[in-house]
Amino acid sequence: MIPLELTAAEQRAFHRALTRPHRDVRLRVDFLTLEHQVASSATRAVVEAEMALERGDDRTVDRVLTLKLWDPQHRLGLSSASPSQVQVTADRMVRAIWSLWVPELDRFVDVPVFTGPVTKVEADDGLLSVEAQGKERLAVFARGRTRTVAKGLTVLGAFRVVMREWIGEDERHLTRVPRWTHMRLAEPLVLGVKSEGWIYARHLAKLAGGHVFYDGRGDVVVRKLPRRPAWRFSHMDVVAYPGATVDALQIVNKVVVHGAKVQGKPPVVGQAHLPVTHPHSAHSLGRRVDGDMVPRYLEGDPVQDDSVRTESAADALAQRILDDANRIDAQVEFESLVIPHLEPGDLCSVPQSVGGSDLSFRLWTLRMGLLHDGVMTVGHTRRARLRRGRR
């Protein structure tokens, strides 16, 4: 969840207000410079507003905001009196702040849900259709001058260099980047004039054991996937209960972890395999040739963690990664009231029916209506553990 600078008691009051059926909601929309300075406000002009979140890759964005604005006087600077002249300025961003009146606090609580550059504007007789994409858009093809980052620097130290010098992100928007020191660059990182900053940023975050995204404020976030639940949907906020379909896509039956490299000592390596009784084990998926079993190893991505210094610790880490990887994906969709402060990768749960058991899932995909009558459609991937059985 995005931090809201609330006390624990205020957060609980906010959560109770989120589940009330009749809610007093307002939306503030500002156009910003690339330095996050307010250039104009479009709050009173908003006719429709929706934010979509979907897990992106190296060249896509996570968030997209779509707006319909009523601007017949052309005060927002995005259109002119001539219908053929629509101005799309590359130096403008949009910020959307969703606010809820909390009776127990006697005030509105503000939740920034989107900050990113304007990418498309269409004008139709005073009605503007505006599309904006997450700040990943500014980073995807960002390139800087040639530089070599020396080995030995922490991975997240190198990440900060990429974000500042290649992508141009100000230090004040890197406050949610931790300073883990256990992982360091084993080799120099060479960035040329054609190096794409966001690809390197995602790679470094993954190398550090986390994932990276921009939050609703437009700040960079690097974090490990949370293990504590962020939100439990209930009958108070679920509009339509979920349906699920199971689709086995990726199978991993072996994980290898490489630990710290200590001079004069053998390398630390740990492994984990699924037991032969598991339906996805190398033995179960293997084939017999002339009476001999040829196992089929499906190895996950190699893991390098310099904080691991013993083989037993490497084996334990490999087993945890294997346990998490050895699941089936269940695609689940449902509708709920808007829960605006959830973030990509948050751990959530939702009941399957009234009084039914909960499904746990990580939030990667949603579509959120931002006005007073808006609802949220959640489409996510549930990781359901396979049963172990004999062949």
Q: Where are the domains of the chain?
A: 8-135, 140-223, 231-247+329-385, 254-325
| Rg of the chain on CA atoms, in Å | 24
Token reading at 339: 């829960």
Residues β-bridged to residue 94: 31, 116
Q: Give tens-digit pLDDT for 227-269.
A: 788 999 888 777 776 665 555 556 788 999 988 877 778 888 9
- Band (pLDDT 50/70/90 cuts) for residue 88 is low
Q: How far is the CA of 236 from the CAs of 31, 67, 212, 240, 335, in angstroms?
A: 35, 28, 32, 11, 12
Residue of higher predicted confidence among 335 and 192? 335
Assess contact for 274 and 282: CB atoms under 8 A. Answer: yes
* 0.85 surpassed by pTM: no
Distance CA 130, CA 110 (A): 22
CATH topology (fold) of 140-223: Phage tail protein beta-alpha-beta fold (3.55.50)
Q: Give tens-digit pLDDT for 103-131.
A: 999 999 999 999 999 988 888 888 889 99
CB-neighbour burial class of residue 31 (10 A; exposed 0-12, middle 13-18, buried 19+): buried
What is the model's pLDDT at position 203?
86
